[in-house]
Amino acid sequence: MNTFDENDQRNHPRPEDTEFSKMVDNVLSRRQLLGAAGAGLGLFFGGQGLAYAANTSANMGPRIGFKPVAANSLDTVSVPIGYEWRVLASWGDTIFPGGAPFDPVTRGTATSQSTSIGDNNDGMSFFSLGADHGVIAVNNEYANYEYLFTNGRCNSLEDTRKAQAAHGVSVFEVRRTAGVWTLQPHARLNRRITATTEMRLSGPAAGSAWLKTQADPTGTVALGTFNNCANGRTPWGTYLTCEENFNGYFGSAESVPDQAAFKRYGISAKGAGLNWYPFDPRFDVAKNPNEPNRFGWVVEIDPMDPNSTPIKRTALGRLKHENAEVVVNADGHVVVYMGDDEKGEHIYKFVSAKKWDAKNPSANRDLLDEGTLYVARFSTVDGKAQGEGEWLALTHGKNGLTAEAGFHDQAEVLVHTRLAATVVGATTMDRPEWIAAHPTQAQVYVTLTNNSDRGEKTNQAVNGPNPRAKNVYGQIVRWTPKGNDHTSHHFTWDIFALAGNPTQHNDAYAGSANITPDNMFNSPDGLAFDREGRLWIQTDGDYSNAKDFAGMGNNQMLCANPVTGEIKRFMVGPVACEITGIAFTPDQQTMFVGIQHPGEKLAPSHFPQRGDAVPRSSIVAISRRDGGVVGT
Ligand code: FEO
Ligand code: CA
Ligand code: CA
Ligand code: CA
């Protein structure tokens, strides 16, 4: 049983998107045009891309030197010739003195799970403590009940506590000896944060009526974090963990209050089958109708202080957060880009009111509490896969966010961010996943993973950055803020890669010109730049290797040159996994990559084959045999 199949999310009706209906035909012709015209010049899909490449003719982008890996369906990790990989840590590895080793027969208890690495590692960051020493903070998005429980179900309070302990964030130190990084199970900074850890709600929505419960009449103290998808890191050294599909953990034997927001966020009596509410009444939404409002936030964690209280930053809005990409603008304002991963949801950015002060780190601690939240509206000239866009402020009293529209104050705008985004006229997107900002240029990329729901039925018309109605493949869209200023209200955008299968289709579903039979993939999800500007793409897609997906094999990681559009496959994961989570050591000699849920839905995987048959989500360390920089 996979209770969180992200490719099976519900859609919901939305006001009509404007224009763009002829896009699919134009995408087809553009592939043909650019495929021919761009072949010798390294040009690729997208008009702005052409200009960008031409403007940087002296710079053909970062070198991508490895020989690509072939697609495959093996139950192992495949990396290029000259590279090697090792398992760094797996679900159930203890991170405290005296902790029990993973038991493949019982799969542990609530107690052992709370002192060991959680399940389904997802977004992660590496914080350096010296050349050969660091701390990793990694999300544990959800639990694979088919392996967590010997009978595959959560049937008791003990089961519920074990599942809750398998969620959250794992923090652990690592050290490198003779080129090999290992987990330090007794280290001082090791910490588990779970679905029951005490946290503080801060920012404009803290203390609001929507966040108050019987157990917390102040509306400022929340218990736990769960469904932590991807991540971010701040320049002041903290970790951001993003709460995604929180709705499915709530349910009730009674009926759920009739709220527009519950419908929009997918909160129902049925839940997603996780079955916490019969044993832990906090998750019974009829008894605690405000408890779901305390989830769906970005949470800030100090990985250097294991006793610190994690803080839910309400100024960043309440959505099904994917990641939080932090940029320090040239003028010192901190900008956070965020995607809301559901069919037809939106892309957001937060701009801090105050500026980052590099000389005074403690002055930056609460920068994420005060600022303006915006949502993106994309527009285009009809038929072009490029255009302009605008950031619309989600500020109470502006853009129609008034009491008459259901927003009495800024807290209400933030708790019901999705409803506010619709009021201001945000563009519906094909499931925004990770957002990544180029390390040296003002350019930002987003993965739009897939969307089967565009069409009249859902009032989600195709539009410029989301040009296909039955989008089984996904695309990567990018934008440049006006004047290279991340605080600007305006931007231009184009499509960097339209994923597809050129061996199965000869229309828009073949993908853009930089998609070939040798690098094709589906459902791009994880996305990050390394310091030299290589763009790393991770997939969470269909691994059937058949029909629309024939020739794509297992989920994979690719490396792209943002200047030329070149894309090469770097890695293939084991059976039925998702590749998600990426972090580099500062010397970039090691890349940490997440293998999430190998063998999901009882698919035949034994990864990582550490002496037992139970497949376990794991973090692997990848490096070059000659010790060089990964990717070059
Ligand atoms: Fe947890 Fe949208 O991926
Ligand atoms: Ca994801
Ligand atoms: Ca995904
Ligand atoms: Ca997954």
Question: pLDDT tens digit string along 404-459?
Answer: 999 999 999 999 999 999 999 999 999 999 999 999 999 999 999 999 988 777 77
Place of tokens 């060991």: 116
Per-residue pLDDT at 20 exceeds 50: no
Of all ligands present, the nearest one to the C-alpha of 600 is 4
Expressed in angstroms and rounded, the spacing between residue 428 Cα and the centre of ligand 2 is 18
User: Which atom of ligand 1 is nearest to 141's Cα?
Assistant: 1
User: Which atom of ligand 1 is nearest to 433's Cα?
Assistant: 2
Question: What number is the average pLDDT over the span 39-47?
Answer: 34
* Burial degree of 260 (CB within 10 A; 0-12, 13-18, 19+): exposed
Question: What number is the average pLDDT over the span 484-502?
Answer: 98
CA dihedral 342, 576, 272, 9 (to 10 degrees): 20
Q: How confident is the model at residue 362 (pLDDT cuts 50, 70, 90)?
A: confident
Q: How confident is the model at residue 535 (pLDDT cuts 50, 70, 90)?
A: very high
Of all ligands present, the nearest one to the C-alpha of 228 is 1
Sequence-ordered alpha helix ranges (H) in 115-229: 145-148, 157-166
Expressed in angstroms and rounded, the spacing between residue 537 Cα and the centre of ligand 4 is 15
User: Which atom of ligand 1 is nearest to 227's Cα?
Assistant: 1
Would you mind telling me the total number of residues written for the chain in this entry?
632
Question: What number is the average pLDDT over the span 312-316?
Answer: 99
* Spatial CA neighbour of 623 closest among 571, 546, 556: 571
The CA-based diameter of the chain, rounded to the nearest angstrom, is 66
Domain assignment of residue 493, yes or no = yes
Expressed in angstroms and rounded, the spacing between residue 605 Cα and the centre of ligand 2 is 21
Expressed in angstroms and rounded, the spacing between residue 471 Cα and the centre of ligand 4 is 19
For residues 338 and 351, what is the distance between their CA atoms, to the nearest angstrom? 12
Give the single-character DSSP code of 40.
Answer: T
pLDDT at 14 (0 to 100): 34
* Spatial CA neighbour of 335 closest among 491, 199, 213, 476: 491
How many alpha carbons lie under 13 Å from residue 366 in its C-beta half-sphere?
7
More confident residue, 556 or 29: 556
Per-residue pLDDT at 50 exceeds 90: no
Q: How confident is the model at residue 321 (pLDDT cuts 50, 70, 90)?
A: very high
Tell me the pLDDT of the chain averaged across its residues. Answer: 91
Question: What number is the average pLDDT over the span 195-201?
Answer: 98
Expressed in angstroms and rounded, the spacing between residue 440 Cα and the centre of ligand 4 is 30
In three-state secondary structure terms, 55 is helix
Which residues contact ligand 1 via a Cβ below 6 A? 6, 141, 229, 244, 322, 341, 433, 525
pLDDT at 212 (0 to 100): 98
Q: How confident is the model at residue 59 (pLDDT cuts 50, 70, 90)?
A: confident
* Spatial CA neighbour of 495 closest among 535, 523, 467: 467
User: Which atom of ligand 1 is nearest to 320's Cα?
Assistant: 2
Expressed in angstroms and rounded, the spacing between residue 523 Cα and the centre of ligand 3 is 7
pLDDT at 611 (0 to 100): 60
Of all ligands present, the nearest one to the C-alpha of 139 is 1
Per-residue pLDDT at 24 exceeds 70: no
pLDDT at 72 (0 to 100): 98
pLDDT tens for each residue of 252-280 = 999 998 899 999 999 999 999 999 999 99
Find the domain containing 444 and state its range. Answer: 18-112+330-624
Per-residue pLDDT at 54 exceeds 50: no
User: How many domains is the chain built from?
Assistant: 1
Place of tokens 């705008």: 413
In three-state secondary structure terms, 334 is strand
Question: What number is the average pLDDT over the span 325-335?
Answer: 98
Expressed in angstroms and rounded, the spacing between residue 242 Cα and the centre of ligand 1 is 10
Q: Is the dihedral of CA 203, 205, 206, 211 positive or negative?
A: negative
User: Which atom of ligand 1 is nearest to 4's Cα?
Assistant: 1
Expressed in angstroms and rounded, the spacing between residue 74 Cα and the centre of ligand 3 is 21
Per-residue pLDDT at 158 exceeds 60: yes
Domain assignment of residue 136, yes or no = no
pLDDT at 16 (0 to 100): 34
The answer to whether the bond into 608 is cis (omega within 30° of 0) is yes
pLDDT tens for each residue of 459-491 = 788 999 999 999 999 999 999 999 999 999 999
Residues in CB range of 544: below 8 A, 6 or more apart: none
pLDDT at 610 (0 to 100): 66
For residues 34 and 43, what is the distance between their CA atoms, to the nearest angstrom? 7
Domain assignment of residue 353, yes or no = yes
pLDDT tens for each residue of 179-192 = 999 999 999 999 99
Question: What number is the average pLDDT over the span 312-332?
Answer: 98
Cα–Cα distance list, 507 to 109, 501, 502, 541 (Å)? 52, 10, 9, 21
Q: How far, in whole angstroms, is CA 508 from its chain's centroid?
A: 26
Q: How confident is the model at residue 354 (pLDDT cuts 50, 70, 90)?
A: very high
pLDDT at 381 (0 to 100): 72
Expressed in angstroms and rounded, the spacing between residue 613 Cα and the centre of ligand 4 is 20
Expressed in angstroms and rounded, the spacing between residue 119 Cα and the centre of ligand 1 is 15
pLDDT at 612 (0 to 100): 65
Expressed in angstroms and rounded, the spacing between residue 115 Cα and the centre of ligand 3 is 28
Of all ligands present, the nearest one to the C-alpha of 539 is 3
Give the pairing type, strands 198-202 and 311-313. parallel
Of all ligands present, the nearest one to the C-alpha of 527 is 2
For residues 551 and 181, what is the distance between their CA atoms, to the nearest angstrom? 34
Question: What number is the average pLDDT over the span 352-376?
Answer: 95
Per-residue pLDDT at 27 exceeds 70: no
For residues 497 and 537, what is the distance between their CA atoms, to the nearest angstrom? 11
Question: What number is the average pLDDT over the span 595-616?
Answer: 90
Per-residue pLDDT at 22 exceeds 90: no
pLDDT at 37 (0 to 100): 30
Per-residue pLDDT at 15 exceeds 70: no
Place of tokens 């710079």: 59
User: Which atom of ligand 1 is nearest to 322's Cα?
Assistant: 2
Of all ligands present, the nearest one to the C-alpha of 245 is 1
* Ligand 1 atom 1, closest CA: 229
Token representation of residue 154:
């959560």
